Structure 1
Amino acid sequence: MFRAYIDESQSPQVYEGELKPIGYGVYYIACLLADEMQMNLLSQRFTEIRQRSAARFGTPPNAEFHGHCMFQFKEDWEALKGKPRAAIGIYRQVMRAIVESGAQLFIRGINEEQLKQRYDKYAHNPHTLALQYCLERVNYYAESNEIDMVEIVADRVADPMAHEGMMRRYQILGRTEGYVASDLAHISFPFSWEDSCKYDGLQAVDTALFIISRALRINPLDKKKQDHAVLNTARMVMPALHPTSAISCLMQRMQIPIKQSLDLNSLWA
């Protein structure tokens, strides 16, 4: 049984500077695709990381891996306040566990400004569109690897039925909109909309998406010391990132590969 663990993220729109990095103004959907064996291995690794962190730093033994909270030393990670090296070390252990599990990470982003410019009042909701793009790639991966069905476990959002309903409609019609035109035949309905604290898969996809989206907002001409730590951490999860992961710039009719963008950024001193 394969499950796709799905999370969403929206990057800031405003950037103060001349060279605006590609990661600003983007709505992301990320999916971690894993079978039962991969998920068991990932959960085992996560349990070990939690236990080590609890013994050494006093964090809760059931701490939730949440990108924003780990970076801001909030909620379960308050004990790491003033210990940034420890926090980034734990974060990197989480990224390493994702890669070692063998799970596949898919990320699709939509440039929101270009979406509105191209389609104006007819533009789809960026969450729904990014979800479509992501599931199209997951469905194609399933088809190519003889995976029958993929169950969806998604982090809770404000209007889940609207997004899920559009995906179900595409499956009934036999094709999605756009140039990929997938039938989503390998996507199982209904989706399960869950609290991330109960699912290691949701925590994995949250932390991976958080660090990658943050890395894509770094200006290669104006790097700060902490930016190098972010880029190095993001690079650790790159082996799990599927090649179809990209940001769609609809006015330019182009796809910007995420891995290539991070590789180029890391070349700058």
Structure 2
Amino acid sequence: MLLTYVDESHSSEVYFLGAVLCPETEAISLTEALDEVVLKAIGAYGHIPPDTELHGYDIFHAKRDWAHLSGKPRARIGVYADALQAIADHDVKIILTGVDLVGLQRRYGKNHDHPHSITLTHLLERVDEFAKRSSELALIIADECEGQDGYRRELRQYRATGTWGYKARKITTVVDTIHFASSSASRLLQAVDLVSFLFHRIHIDADNDPRAKKANEQLWARVEPRVVHHRVWYP
């Protein structure tokens, strides 16, 4: 079984969904490894509760429980690097799908589905494709968001009649429904948040400082070998 953790990262330019596909045998080990990242940060910097969330935005910008690391970019990069390395050290796969929001608005105006629905559809197709190729089943666990019941209905439809678009397929390997949970309670949802946030930031070229660009590239290099698919749809 592939425990498939899903989270979004978006801006005015692009809407991304990422998935970390974790074999059931790796889930506990990866959770413990990410717990160790937080414990290591506590030992080094203090003032961090043990249940602190490994949230990409908060670590990157020194917010919430990471606020006391403001002015310490190397420390924050170190925490992010440790977390990504923990992910990379496990037998997970990463899938990233996105939609260009400028092109979506230009082509369809207001008459388009929510970007989350569009990217989730593309993500489910690629998860199903990978799971079928691997002779596995996938269970979807997504970060809480608006419209959850609608996304569950869409999955039921994709099982019954298939998805839409030029890569339409009938979803056959995703079991049960889409389970939504709070990322604050799941290290594995935090894992996909870290991956999605960094990939999004690199994609939109958010950093002008060459040092920041280099740091982002070095961080991404840790998990890039785990990526089995990434694509942005440009309508």
TM more than 0.5: yes
1:104-183 to 2 correspondence within 5 Å? 104-147=93-136, 149-173=137-161, 175-183=162-170
Q: Please, which runs of 5 or more residues in structure 1 have no aligned partner?
A: 14-24, 251-269
| Alignment partner, residue 246 of structure 1 | 231
| Alignment partner, residue 205 of structure 1 | 192
1:1-269 to 2 correspondence within 5 Å? 1-11=1-11, 13=12, 25-58=13-46, 59-147=48-136, 149-173=137-161, 175-218=162-205, 223-242=209-228, 244-250=229-235
Q: One-letter code of the match for 1:180? A: K
The DSSP-based 3-state class of the residue aligned with 1:32 is strand
Deviation at 1:133, TM superposition (A): 0.4
Q: One-letter code of the match for 1:213? A: H
Q: One-letter code of the match for 2:227? A: L
Quote the RMSD (CA, aligned, Å).
1.6
Higher strand share: 2
Percent identical residues: 28
Give the TM-score of the pair, scaled to structure 2: 0.93
Number of corresponding residues: 234
Give the TM-score of the pair, scaled to structure 1: 0.82
Q: Assess, with a 3 A threshold, how the Cα gap between structure 1 residues 195 and 219 changes in structure 2: closer, same or farther.
A: closer
Q: Please, which runs of 5 or more residues in structure 2 have no aligned partner?
A: none
| Alignment partner, residue 261 of structure 1 | none
Q: One-letter code of the match for 1:9? A: S
Between 1 and 2, higher relative CO (CA 8 Å, sep ≥ 6) is seen in 2
Deviation at 1:179, TM superposition (A): 1.4
User: Which ranges of 4 or more aligned residues in structure 1 deviate by more than 4 Å?
Assistant: none
